[in-house]
A and B are shown apart, each in its own frame.
Chain A
Amino acid sequence: MNYALKTRQVCLFIIAFLPLSKLFVLPSVLAKIANEDLWLCTVLSLLLDFISLSAVLYACKKADTDFFGLLRANFGKVGEVIVLVLFLIYFTFKAINPLTEQNEYVKLTLYTLMPTLLYFLPFFIVCFYLCTKKLRILGRAADIMWLATIIGVTILFAMSISNADFSAILPIGARGFNAIIKGSYKSLNWFGDSAYLLFFIGNFKYKKRDYIKILCSFLIHAVIVTSFVIIFYSIFTSIAYRQRFALTEISKYTVVINNMGRFDYVGIMLILLSNMFSLSLPLYFSCKILNRLFNFKRVFIAPIIVVSIQVIIMVFLNENIAGFISIIQDYGGFYFLIVGNILPVFSALLKPKEKIYANQAN
């Protein structure tokens, strides 16, 4: 059997793309809710993802076909459609927040003089191109972009750690359990990444002990995100919630910048480059679902639909996007929890296609 991905590429996919969307606005959102306990919210959400991912890996181990095939075999055509529609809605809403963040980031920090949506729209051309490609493109992109992510994050960490006062995250848990749960609930939009991994089922050859490699990759991703959040709060403490774009903020107080200028933009640009793929992920998997549901004969129809929906949302909700995202965070949490975390856990219960057909034959 010819697999689209290798285990190495799955690991690098997790390291290269999953941490990035969590490095922009998420830290300040968590700081507003849980103050110094923001890292506990992050750890809780990562723990949920870890459980979901473990279940997905168990499904990968048993699977003899891809996710779509497993759904069809286990639930029939109607059941498959229902589950896929749930994921389609999930990815559509999951894409809005990071895309909006990136749009605002480009407008407000890179082109401060006269921000306009036009600066960001070319991203959708790249995204459209990605969406027309097979799963192999994500593996190949991860093979290259993991280096950009790691170098970018290392530069930012190296330039910011000297300004961090790590005692700022003390006392642990003083804001109460409710604040931690609330922070974690409102940040579910940024997590739930194991839903992506569902679509890797049956697309890479699962070998013995592959789960250790993949879970270690997830832990590297978790360490990057948690460290970033801790360093961010340790630098800004009481005004952390006011720093909307953590990515640009954390590194600019180092002495190197006084002497050499914004050297940290080298790291930031590398992360932005890698983030282009990260932003495309929900749209990419939406296309795969649409193609499965409607079996389009032309490869560009699903990408046109998916990309157009996001462009329309960005253009028409341009002035009201903050309120829209607030509604998603306030009321969408349960949906994100169910589809992003609980459904992937149930993937562990999916029976292999051959086994089901064998039972039916008997």
Chain B
Amino acid sequence: MQIKRTKFLMLALLLIAFMFFTSDLVLIDVEKTSIITAVAIDMEDEEYIVTAQIAVPEATDTNTENQKAQISGKGSTVGAALKDLGDTSGWFPKLSFCNLILIGENLAKTNVMNALDYFAKTLRVQDSALVVMCEKSAKEILALATPLDNISSFAIQKILLKTIGFNRDIATTDIKTFCSGHYSDSASAYMPVIKCIKADEPNSEGGESISASGSDKGSQSSSNSESEKKENSDNLFDATTTALFKNGYKVGELDENLSLVFNAFGGSFNGTTIPIDGVPFGGKTVNYLLTVINKISSVKLSATENDLTLKLNLTLYCKIADVNTDYSDDSLSNNAPLPEPLIEKAENFFTEYVNELVETSVQTECDIFKIKEKLYRHNYKQYSRYKDNYFSALKTDINVNVYGQSQ
């Protein structure tokens, strides 16, 4: 019996060895595998131009910066363009590490789902990869040199994926979230718009210098760029604008403030700073910077036979992060209660932009608050009544409260 068992084991080992040495398990030579870190998709003459940014690992015993290569392929579908990219380069395009997909301006004029659906369907790419739109050609954005990182896609990801404590002012989305929004009853989705800005230019919307370290405008900078890389220090990225999509087509945009308020109804908002300027104080006007220390928000829909009401509640617990008074006070160190004029101004700021956000949603018919989904899930009895006219029948009930430390 023991001899038979040994014979069987030998045969099994031989079988495995045969399979291994005859097909080398169809492994692909690592030298011919490209590790794609980001993909830019543009559209020219009804053809997709896919540009892949490829990280090139180099064996070295010294600390060097990340090396990259950038190559393009074209085809009638995104899959075909990726195939073309592989054929022309000789590299097998490995998308497992692709964490960023950029959509070019021209492509955004068409139905973006025709391109993005490939990434949702294929198992070759993680559908947790971030999706952004570019204000110009995606290929150009990807090719830009930036002082933040040798690989521009890494720099963009730093802006998009901020850790807790940073500003939550960017409406970050990934393939899965975008697709589930698109394929939901609402057929609505959103993604941030990447804009290229110069480091020494003030931010057009915020009016502040982006080159200031620790800027709160969704951009980053480096103050120690080397002189020989002077040209690299020019390009920084801003992603505080949000593009809205309905049925795959871009239908509108949220500006910096609207994006900020939209994020207040999303996940974590703690650590976000809000500049409140022109607050009357002792006969003068004072500028404040508030930091959100806690947030409670809810978006609820109430549907009856007579009306459909969207109830938006936002409660922010803030502390003063900075104030430009002429004298020193203890409001920063003591986490003191917020002055009444400041609370009023902050509440007005949020109420105004929440109103504008709802108006934008109604005008563009982009259901960013998932009203139809809420109607189906929580008010199913009224679903058939409002499913086709919920935007026209919608009333809003907005309730914003800003609190500081209690007395």
The segment from A116-124, A310-318, A339-347, A351-359 found at the interface with B is A116-124
Smallest CB separation, B367 vs chain A (Å): 13
* A119, B94: Cβ atoms closer than 8 Å: no
- Report the separation of the CA atoms of residues A244 and B124 in the bound assembly, to the nearest whole angstrom: 13
Which chain A residues border B183 with CB–CB below 8 Å? 238-239
A109 within 8 A of partner (CB): yes
Smallest CB separation, A127 vs chain B (Å): 12
* A113, B94: Cβ atoms closer than 8 Å: yes
Q: Which residue of B lies closest to A173 (CB)?
A: B380
* B380, A174: Cβ atoms closer than 8 Å: yes
Which chain B residues border A257 with CB–CB below 8 Å? 128
B176 within 8 A of partner (CB): yes
Smallest CB separation, B383 vs chain A (Å): 8
Which chain A residues border B25 with CB–CB below 8 Å? 118-119
Given known A118-B23, A122-B16, A242-B120, contact A252–B377 (CB-CB < 8 A) = no
- Could you give, for residues 110-152 of chain B, a 1 whenever the CB lies within 8 Å of some chain A CB and a 0 otherwise? 0000000000110110101000000000000000000000000
Q: Which residue of B lies closest to A236 (CB)?
A: B180
- Chain B contacts with A in 335-356, Cβ cutoff 8 A: none
* A253, B96: Cβ atoms closer than 8 Å: no
Which chain B residues border A122 with CB–CB below 8 Å? 16, 19
Which chain B residues border A252 with CB–CB below 8 Å? 126, 128
Which chain A residues border B94 with CB–CB below 8 Å? 113
- How many A-B contacts are there with CB distance less than 8 Å? 63
Which residues does B use to contact A, with CB under 8 Å? Answer: 12, 15-16, 19, 23, 25-28, 33, 92, 94, 96, 120-121, 123-124, 126, 128, 161, 174, 176, 179-180, 183-185, 376-378, 380
* B380, A171: Cβ atoms closer than 8 Å: yes
Contact sample, A vs B, 13 pairs, CB 8 Å cutoff: A112-B96, A112-B124, A113-B28, A118-B23, A121-B19, A122-B16, A170-B378, A171-B376, A171-B377, A171-B380, A236-B180, A244-B123, A252-B128
* B180, A113: Cβ atoms closer than 8 Å: no
* A239, B176: Cβ atoms closer than 8 Å: yes
Which chain B residues border A360 with CB–CB below 8 Å? none
* B377, A167: Cβ atoms closer than 8 Å: yes
- Report the separation of the CA atoms of residues A238 and B184 in the bound assembly, to the nearest whole angstrom: 5
- Report the separation of the CA atoms of residues A167 and B180 in the bound assembly, to the nearest whole angstrom: 15
Which of B15, B16, B176, B185 is most buried by chain A, counting CB atoms within 10 A of its CB?
Answer: B176
Smallest CB separation, B13 vs chain A (Å): 10
Given known A109-B123, A114-B28, A170-B377, contact A237–B180 (CB-CB < 8 A) = yes
A89 within 8 A of partner (CB): no
Which chain B residues border A113 with CB–CB below 8 Å? 26-28, 33, 92, 94
Which chain B residues border A174 with CB–CB below 8 Å? 376, 380
